[in-house]
Amino acid sequence: MVSSGLCFSLTVLLLLMLVTSELTVDYYKRTCPHAESILRQVMVQKIREAPTTAGATLRLFFHDCFVDGCDASVLVSSTPGNKAERDEEINHSLAGDAFDAVHRAKAAVEKICPGVVSCADVLAIITRDLVQLVGGPFWEVRKGRKDGRLSMASRVGRNLPTSTASINELTRLFASKGLNEIDLIALSGAHTIGFAHCTEFTNRIYNFNGTRAGDPSMNPGFLGELRRACPPRNGNPDVVASMDAATPFQFDNSYYRSMQRGLGLLTSDQELLTNARTRSVVDAFASSQDLFYEVFAASMDKLGNVGVKNETNGVVRKECHRT
């Protein structure tokens, strides 16, 4: 008899059939054969200096891909005549360590292969490396992305999810990027190394759904800890809370297990557990880290193929912050 776990795994893999694209694993085989090893060495040093870099860079990659595709447009700085993506309000919380990681990585590869490796590929590769360096899975990064020619704050709009989004809202947004509900649940697992500012969950701990009380699904002890760290008024705007209080610097499946204990931080996190459509997948990932890793890696591959640019509509920037 075939086990239910195996059936679930096979179903997931069918849903995560890799998309067809022009990207290839060996894209730089002749032009910059040591690109990946160069980038990894830089990330090994960076993660030693700043352990939060992995979560920060993973978030940066997500924000880049969801707005005009994976084209490194989120890295571009604003100019007097243009407000770039990174200066849109929702991107203000993107961490400096993530931008620094890309800057260091790009500078290192430029010394060996000038003008060859795109910023978009650099971001995709180092995201994978950083995830693995903190215990996560490995996946082959297909390469050949070109960098976008534009970066406009006005394009960010509703292309990024909010911390209070419902499952239906999240599902529609992900579907608009060619990602399904399984991808949504798996990629949400990136929160296992994520942090959030108090403003992203204040309503949940003080005025959930207008009740003037905390979300009753939250663990009472966890709710109390969050309230002590994040007062309702005059709090420190720089304070952050871990989305995975158990192992905040380790990429694992603790995020899903925490939700089962009422320790989900964001409303959108906890909805994955309370929604009938998504709960079974959350439970499956909570019970099998191997399954989560397998699906997460496949979903990251799909994410990395969203809206990629090629030679006709993209370039290779020598400096990632300039178009």
8 Å CB contact between 134 and 249 = yes
| Percent composition of the chain: helix, strand, coil (DSSP 3-state, to 5) | 55, 5, 45
Query: Where do the H-state alpha helices sit in the chain?
Result: 4-15, 35-49, 53-66, 96-112, 119-133, 167-175, 181-188, 202-206, 220-229, 254-260, 267-274, 276-287, 289-303
Q: Is 309 helix (H, G, I), strand (E, B) or coil?
A: strand
Q: Is 294 annotated as a binding residue?
A: no
Q: Is 247 annotated as a binding residue?
A: yes
Q: Is 232 helix (H, G, I), strand (E, B) or coil?
A: coil
8 Å CB contact between 197 and 93 = yes
Q: Is 71 annotated as a binding residue?
A: yes
Q: Is 151 annotated as a binding residue?
A: no
Q: Is 87 annotated as a binding residue?
A: no
Is 63 an annotated catalytic residue?
yes
Q: Is 85 annotated as a binding residue?
A: yes
Residue 145 has which token pair? 């992305």
- Active-site annotation holder among 63, 92, 103, 197: 63
Q: Is 161 annotated as a binding residue?
A: yes
Q: Is 244 annotated as a binding residue?
A: yes
Known binding-site residues for substrate equal 161
Known binding-site residues equal 64, 67, 69, 71, 73, 85, 161, 191-192, 244, 247, 252
Catalytic residue annotation? 63
